[in-house]
Amino acid sequence: MDHLTPRQIVAELDKYVIGQRDAKRAVAIALRNRWRRQKLPSELRDEVAPKNIIMIGPTGVGKTEIARRLARLADAPFLKVEASKYTEVGYVGRDVESMIRDLTDLAVNLVKGERARGVEDRAAELAEERLLDLLLPAARPVPPGFEPATLPPVQETREKFRKMLREGVLEDRVVELELRDKAFPMMEIFPGAGMGQMDINLQEMLGNLLPGRVKRRRVKVREARRLLHQEEAGKLIDMDEVVAEAVRRVENAGIVFLDEIDKIAGRERTLGPDVSREGVQRDLLPIVEGSTVPTKYGMVRTDHILFIAAGAFHAAKPSDLIPELQGRFPLRVELQPLTRGDFVRILTEPESALTKQYTALLQTEGVTLDFTKDALEEIATIATGVNEATENIGARRLYTIMERLLDEVSFEAPHLPGVRVEINAAYVRDRLQELVRNEDLSRYIL
């Protein structure tokens, strides 16, 4: 899907995120530029560096949401990390480079999944043959005194079983199968060890030294089919090719979304056990600019990985980032605070809008929810009001309000099958007015 035009990308994002045109355009252009770069002659291709983006905007206005949706669209290796996690105590030793390792792992799984789909049919055939081997006792020599002709030919029996298998009549039959157990229990061997750098080669090495143990398991046919299919697919896939392709994709199309970048802004060194924020910024520099990171799949170059950072920048400003890092994020886009009108749209328009979610959830109990237009207006008004009076948490306010609004119906739904509940403005006011009027109360509840 990486051939989507910027317009198409924005149109796709529009299905999930209301407003925020600038941010959508910026990420759409960045994505398209990846594709354009691939078309260039190689000398030029190496020169074109991605234009990394910082999205700036208050909390709850869609920064992370845009990234999440973009990830699905991009069909590229996409990793979302919180920049702040690298300052936490537990992550000392789990260095910033680990984001590239994680991205590569992800890409390998992505490509492996694609290849597995490619060999699906063949793997299914092989799995069926192995199932038949398990179901049919090996042809024994004919005991003396018996005429061979009285036994049905092996092939005929096999076909009979195949037919039964396909018809699904043998699903609950138990078979015993041998599976190669490749997953190596690292965790048990190095409990609590810093899993950052050190696991890279050890795991590979030990994995190769100790040949996969063979495990015998008794399972039902339906489970056996799944396991055998997996194993056969694994044998059909050329892992060297998968790894090469995965690394190629990471290097050329990989996207890292660095959320909460404002949490590492600031130049002062923190006291105590936390890694200094400036330290994390310095560690990020080479990765963002382009360096080579060792991973268990080999060296990965980061020059053309696209970085999209996001942060609310309440306390800190982008200019509080160290200058070198600022320079590596040339594009700044601001996200706008959400208006009352946006709230109405957010409640109804996105594919997974809240009203759709609640309606579907309650429908499972046979309760039909009906939101009137004036109810939506009322909810949006209340959300705006509470955001102004207390903390502005953007669209997240709608979550707390809807939960409170539908508390009664959600609780009683199992006892109201077949009932249609109209949620109109009066209903909304009735359920929420008291809370809204009392600011202290809304501080706690909404």
Ligand X SMILES: Nc1ncnc2c1ncn2[C@@H]1O[C@H](COP(=O)(O)OP(=O)(O)OP(=O)(O)O)[C@@H](O)[C@H]1O
Binding mask 165-194 toward ligand X (x if CB under 6 A, else -) reads ------------------------------
- Residue entry with tokens 């990471």: 250
Burial 268-280 (b: 16+ CB within 10 A, else e): eeeeeebbbbbbb
Name the minimum Å distance from CB 346 to ligand X.
4
Start-to-end CA span in the chain (Å)? 40
**Residue in 396, 404, 429, 431 binding ligand X, rule: CB under 6 A:** 396
**Phi-psi region at 241: left, alpha or beta (left = phi > 0; alpha = psi -120 to 50):** alpha
* Residue 63 near ligand X by CB under 6 A: yes
**Residue in 284, 312, 316, 413 binding ligand X, rule: CB under 6 A:** 312
Nearest partner of 309 among 85, 56, 97, 101, judged by Cα: 56
* Residue 64 near ligand X by CB under 6 A: yes
**Residue in 50, 60, 77, 254 binding ligand X, rule: CB under 6 A:** 60
Taking CB under 6 A as the criterion, which residues in 4-23 touch ligand X?
Answer: 17-20
Nearer Cβ to ligand X (37/63): 63
Binding mask 211-250 toward ligand X (x if CB under 6 A, else -) reads ----------------------------------------
Nearest partner of 175 among 140, 128, 234, judged by Cα: 128
* Residue 64 near Mg ion by CB under 5 A: yes
Contact segment (CB under 5 A) with Mg ion among 26-34, 59-67, 103-111, 339-347 equals: 59-67
Say if CB 220 and CB 174 are below 8 A apart.
yes
Which option in Mg ion, ligand X, none does residue 18 bind, with CB closer than 5 to 8 A by kind?
Answer: ligand X
Nearer Cβ to ligand X (131/258): 258
* Residue 123 near ligand X by CB under 6 A: no
- Measured CA to CA, the distance from residue 87 to residue 102 in angstroms comes to 18
Contact segment (CB under 5 A) with Mg ion among 58-66, 113-121, 344-352, 414-422 equals: 58-66
Which strand ranges, in their side-by-side order, compose the sheet holding 78-82? 78-82, 255-259, 306-311, 53-56, 331-334
- Measured CA to CA, the distance from residue 380 to residue 398 in angstroms comes to 8
Number of Cβ atoms within 10 Å of the Cβ of 59: 16
CA distances from 8 to 27, 82, 333, 336 (A): 12, 28, 20, 22
* Residue 254 near ligand X by CB under 6 A: no
Name the minimum Å distance from CB 312 to ligand X.
4
Nearer Cβ to ligand X (300/347): 347
Name the minimum Å distance from CB 344 to Mg ion.
22
Name the minimum Å distance from CB 404 to Mg ion.
23
CA dihedral 335, 338, 344, 348 (to 10 degrees): 30
Binding mask 258-297 toward ligand X (x if CB under 6 A, else -) reads ----------------------------------------
Nearer Cβ to ligand X (65/365): 65
Name the minimum Å distance from CB 19 to ligand X.
5
Nearest partner of 347 among 336, 358, 337, judged by Cα: 358
* Residue 65 near ligand X by CB under 6 A: yes
Contacts 24+ apart (CB under 8 A), 44-52: 46/303, 48/304, 49/290, 49/303, 49/304, 50/304, 50/305, 50/306, 50/307, 51/330, 51/331, 52/288, 52/306, 52/307, 52/308, 52/309, 52/328, 52/329, 52/330, 52/331
Number of Cβ atoms within 10 Å of the Cβ of 265: 22
Name the minimum Å distance from CB 210 to Mg ion.
43
Name the minimum Å distance from CB 341 to ligand X.
12
Number of residues that bind ligand X (CB under 6 A): 18
The footprint of Mg ion (CB under 5 A) covers 63-64
The footprint of ligand X (CB under 6 A) covers 17-20, 57, 59-65, 312, 346, 350, 394-396
